[in-house]
Amino acid sequence: MMSVATDILDGHGGVGDGAVLDAPPQQAVAGRKASVPPDYSTKHQRAMEKLLLSSAPSCHQTLPDGRFVVPAEHRPPASAAGAVSLPVIDLSLPRDEVRRAVLDAGKELGFFQIINHGVPEEAMSDMEAACAEFFRLPAEDKARYYSEDTERTNRLFSSTMYEVAGERYWRDCLRLAVFPVDDEAIRDGWPEKPSQFRDVLERFIVPTRGVGMELLRLLCEGIGLRPDYFSGELSGGEAIINVNHYPPCPDPNLTLGLPPHCDRNLITLLLQGPVCGLQVAYRANQWIDVDPIPGAFVVNFGHQLEIATNGLLKSVEHRAVTNSTAPRTSVATFIMPTMDSVIRPAPELVGADNPPRYRTFTFRDFMTIYKQVGARRDSVEKAFKL
């Protein structure tokens, strides 16, 4: 039986230049933006007006802004792949069986759910509760974290970085650097309210990241790479979480919580909560509804894993749809390379019969281009494929 929850890695932090906007004064850390004294007289009011939660749910009888209406060809519901569901992989099964299942799912769909992964159920449920409580805090408690500066890792914002041509999406998001947890500069960037948030986050993120690293080792075993191929710089960069909050939407048929996109990182683990909303692209114009499973994580591969495996494993587009009745909160954990790490197809996976499909670049170069071309799969493929 596999035991992954105790896999606590002495990871390489590389948090980048994230900082909480208007956080309490703290010692400056090289590479991170310094905080500034708060001015709550008008700032929190201006900030909260940008968030969907700035209005009581009863005020959202109609869409507050025409930019929330997505083009007709992108609106839900599209054709649903009703007979298709994501594989559910039990990590307590024999290792060979788990390895085959993870590899098959990665080749076919790029998405799967995992159960019996070793992350304590209490840590998962406490994380869900603390995140939901954060979004219920008074405006003045949340405003200090609000920022529209996309270069900041730690920030509260609305809509998404994937916005194109002024489109907006039905989501508020709290983004935080989370690893290594013993770095005081990182912990100081976490919300002080609700009071239990920091302790809950630590109890959640350490085993969750451990599961992600164990999945990467399994993949290495399955495709012929040394087990630690994705250790070090390829996974030692900015470990972050997105706490996504989708309030009830007055017209779910016109909006999206998140547009179709692929993740920029190596591997993602999503705690999606009890409300359905995640959809995964499947063939032409079809989407798989990801049904919530209590105690499960949804796992998907990012661009860096597809490139490193020379296209063997897939980074697949996904999106978030909304509903009119229930709020939805999810927590995505991203494992990422360091900014200066070199990304290329693994030498063991290329040869005369299987030449490299992608060029060599640094993750910093990738992020520069990614922000220019957007998060759609075709755009990224065009930019980096040979």
Give domain status of residue 29, yes or no. Answer: no
Give domain status of residue 52, yes or no. Answer: no
Q: For a pLDDT cut of 90, what percent of the chain falls above it? A: 59
- pLDDT number for residue 17: 31
**183-196: per-residue pLDDT in tens?**
888 999 999 999 99
Give domain status of residue 371, yes or no. Answer: yes
Which tops the pLDDT comparison, 36 or 296? 296
- pLDDT number for residue 44: 55
Give domain status of residue 86, yes or no. Answer: yes
- pLDDT number for residue 149: 83
If you average pLDDT over every residue of the chain, what do you get?
A: 83
User: In sequence order, which residues have a C-beta less than 8 Å from that of residue 102 and are 6 or more positions away?
Assistant: 89, 112, 215, 218, 219, 222
Give domain status of residue 54, yes or no. Answer: no
pTM of the model: 0.84
Domain hosting 176: range is 67-384
| Domain count within the chain | 1
Give domain status of residue 11, yes or no. Answer: no
Tokens of 273: 């909560």
User: In sequence order, which residues have a C-beta less than 8 Å from that of residue 30 and are 6 or more positions away?
Assistant: none
**277-302: per-residue pLDDT in tens?**
999 999 877 899 999 999 999 999 99
**40-93: per-residue pLDDT in tens?**
445 555 655 667 654 434 445 667 667 778 777 777 766 666 668 999 999 999
Torsion of CA 337, 162, 128, 77, to 10 degrees: -130
Q: For a pLDDT cut of 70, what percent of the chain falls above it? A: 80
pLDDT tier for residue 36 given thresholds of 50, 70 and 90: very low
- Say which CATH number the domain at 99 has: 2.60.120.330
Give domain status of residue 103, yes or no. Answer: yes
Give domain status of residue 7, yes or no. Answer: no
**194-208: per-residue pLDDT in tens?**
999 999 999 999 999
Instruction: Say if residue 35's pLDDT is above 50.
Output: no
Phi/psi of residue 47, nearest 5 degrees: -65, -45
**101-160: per-residue pLDDT in tens?**
999 999 999 999 999 999 999 999 999 999 999 999 988 888 889 988 888 889 999 876
